[in-house]
Structure formats: structure tokens, C-alpha cells
Amino acid sequence: MTAVETRAARHIDGFKRMKLIRATAAIAAALAVVSCGDSREKWISEAIDTASFQLKMTAEKLEGTGELPRSTYTGYTLEFLESQIEGDISGIVDSLTPNPPAERVGTLLTCNIYDWTSGFFPGSLWYAYELTGDETLKQEAISYTNLLSPLRKFKDTHDLGFMVGCSFGNALRLSPSDTVKDVIMETADNLAARFNPMTGCIRSWDFGYWNYPVIIDNMMNLDLLFTASRLSGDPRYRQVAVRHAMTTMKNHFRPDYTSYHVVSYNDDGTVEFKETHQGKNDESSWSRGQGWGVYGFTSCYRETKDTIFLNQAIHIADMIMERNTAPDLVPYWDFDAPVRPETPRDASAGALIASAFLELSTFVPDGEKYFDYAERMLKTLSSPEYLAEKGGNNGFILKHSTGSLPHGFEIDSPINYADYYYLEALKRLKDLTR
């Protein structure tokens, strides 16, 4: 057995080891103290109850419209954007999202099935069903997942992993059928077709001034390809995913393991330039982008058991814990954003990082530090500051996310992917503490 294989073998049973550590700690704690009213079980239960209520309310509201919930209309001032970017924004004024009419501010923003976020609401319904066993949530999950069936023919985006993986991918686990499998396989074919052997990456965007743009978010779409390889036995999907991850690891990351948002490639596979399109500036550490990275490389290790991906995930996770200066751990929208009371948080980055850290904790000997960090973050997200009141927040679960501040879009707003990764993280937390 090689040294790499030996290290990998030590991590394979990480999940079982963490459960044993947790069980031992729980017994010790029970012997030492009487459980207080503010127990883990209590706040998790209340969070799941609120989430289920919000999701049912939204599903009923949008039933039959063909629309899905995305966010809430929010506005901005140029002065505020300049104060956050701490520089001149004249160069991006033309790319700003127009402010909505005053009467729309604070109202529900929906999207159609071809929006990159369309899979998150069906995915949230699936997670809520899994957490509760509520058949009403299952039927809503089936209905909203079926709404996305035309995506199996859609080829114009790399976000197919988000759109189909989060919806049909969860359906495959919880209500499998041949139709679900067929949609996943056809979608995986379309995603793999965006791979260019010369660059070693799946192309992200088909718009803009980039020659061949690849964004860090694309790490999140690789799970769909790994799933397709398992379903079909065809290694081609897995090979594309691994090559993409290796190229991303080589070109997206700085020496301190922070990540650029976008790397654009020339036709010969060399790097054209690097930038951070949705962050404070090109050299800043956009919070959600760092979350995409730690989540994506943790998933790659799960699927391959190649410790090069595990080590990358560990380095990114340690960087996040060092760079995240938010006192309650819910990150500011960019790790380099000014630390001020008015600086927006990004609950979506927090939920994403918490979910990734929980999985990472099962793969490493010192996983307790990642588990504890994630649990603290989730408890904060489950507090009244971030968790919606039933019937409020336009039906979303979490408040205070940020989509793209430099473009004046979804600033301090609920967003559907924050809810999705929050529920996924709660599910992972429950699984590790049973």
C-alpha cells in the first residue's frame, strides 16, 4: 500500500469515527450536567418546523404559475456601493441591475426553470421532507421537481448541476424512478459536452467579454457528473470532473488558498486573466466563492478518495476560519469588505460553509474543529436575527444573504440557495449527532 493509499484508508471511516466521538462526548456531557432548555435538539427542531411552514406556504402560493421563488426585490444607492467597494464604481455603472420600482421593493422575486437557481426550491422541499417525513412536502417536492423536466434538453449553462442535481439528485435518493435517472443522465451528457480538453475545464458562461470563462462555482456542478458515473458505470463523467477539479486547483487559488472568482482561458489552454466578478475587487476573497471551493473539493474527496482534494479542502477551510472576521461567524459578503455595522452579511455563504465543514469533519482526525465551527454558525443562522418568522420573509427561511453587491443585486435579501444549503447542513448535523 502506498503512502497516499495509507492516508486515504485512515479517512474512509471518518464518518463512523466522528459519530463515535460524538456519542462518547454526549454520554460524558449527560453525566456531567442536566440538559438545559436551549439544547441542540430544541433549536434544530424549531428551525425545521419554521422551514417546513415557509416552504409549504410558498409552494401553495406559486402552485400552477410555473414560477419558482428566487429572492426579494431590493434596491441600493451608488454611494452605498462605493462605500462597500471602497473605490470608484464608474467602470461598472453600466452593469448595475436597475433599481426596482419603489412599490416592488420588499416583494417576492421569482424565476423560471431556466434560471441558474431553479433547482434550489425543489431541493429544499426534498430536504424538508427528509427531515420531517411530511408527505405534503414530498408531494410538493415531486411537483416542483417535475416542473424542471425540460432542463434535460438545456445546454446553455454549466449550472445544470445546481438546477438538476439539487432537484432530481435528491429525488434519486428519496423517490427514485427510471425517469429521474434518465433526466440526470441526459443532463450529465449536456454538462460534460461543455468540457474542453485543451483548457481542462468545463466552460461556465456563454456571455460577456471572457474568451473561455471558468468560475469557482463550477466546482459545485461536478457532483452531477460523479452521480452519472455511478449510475452508468461509465468513467467518462468522472474523468471530466476530476480533470476540471485539478485544473481549478492549479489556476483559481492564490498561495494563501483564497480563490479568484473567474479564470478566463485562451484557446491554447493558457490563462488569459483572473478576476473576482462578484467580489469587492479582483484580488479580494468573495465569501461565497470561498464556500464553493471548500464544498467542491470536499465532495471531490468523497467521490475519489484522492487526498490531493482532501488537502485542498483542509487548506481552504483553515483559511476561511482565519479570514472570516464576522463576530457571529455569518460572513460579510466579502472577506475583504469593510467591517462596519451596515456591511451586508451573506447567510448563503454561511450555510454553504457550514454544510461543507460538517462533511469535511468526517474525513479528518481533527474534524472536531470543523464540526464545532459549523454548529456555531448554524445555531446563529437559527436565531431570530437570521431565521424568518413564520409567514414572513416572503416565504423564505433565512434572511440577510447577498447575491452580487457590485452589480446591485440581491443585497441583504433572502435567497433560495441559502435556504437549500441551510437545510442540507441541518440534515448533516442531525445525522452526525444521533
Q: Which residues are catalytic?
A: 159, 217
17: nearest Cα among 413, 430, 366: 366
* CB-CB neighbours of 421 under 10 Å: 27
Specify whether the CB–CB gap between 48 and 128 falls below 8 A: yes
162: nearest Cα among 39, 257, 295, 282: 295
Q: Which residue in the block uniquely carries the three cell numbers 448541476?
A: 161
Please list the residues that pair with 201 across neighbouring strands. 196
**How far is residue 357's CA from residue 316's CA, in Å, rounded to a whole number?**
10
CA distances to 287, 338, 367, 404 from 325, in Å: 11, 10, 21, 20
**How far is residue 389's CA from residue 391's CA, in Å, rounded to a whole number?**
6
**How far is residue 280's CA from residue 339's CA, in Å, rounded to a whole number?**
13
* CB-CB neighbours of 121 under 10 Å: 33
Q: Which residue in the block uniquely carries the three cell numbers 481533527?
A: 366
- For 313, residues 6+ apart whose C-beta sits below 8 A from its C-beta are 294, 297, 298, 300, 301, 356, 360
The secondary structure of 364-433 as a DSSP string is STTTHHHHHHHHHHHHHHTSTTTBPPTT-GGG-SB--B-SBGGGTBS-SB-BHHHHHHHHHHHHHHHHHT
Angle formed at CA 289 by CA 284 and CA 290, multiple of 5 degrees: 85
Alpha helices (H) along 162-234: 168-174, 178-192, 222-232
* E strand spans, 85-219: 108-111, 195-196, 201-202, 213-215
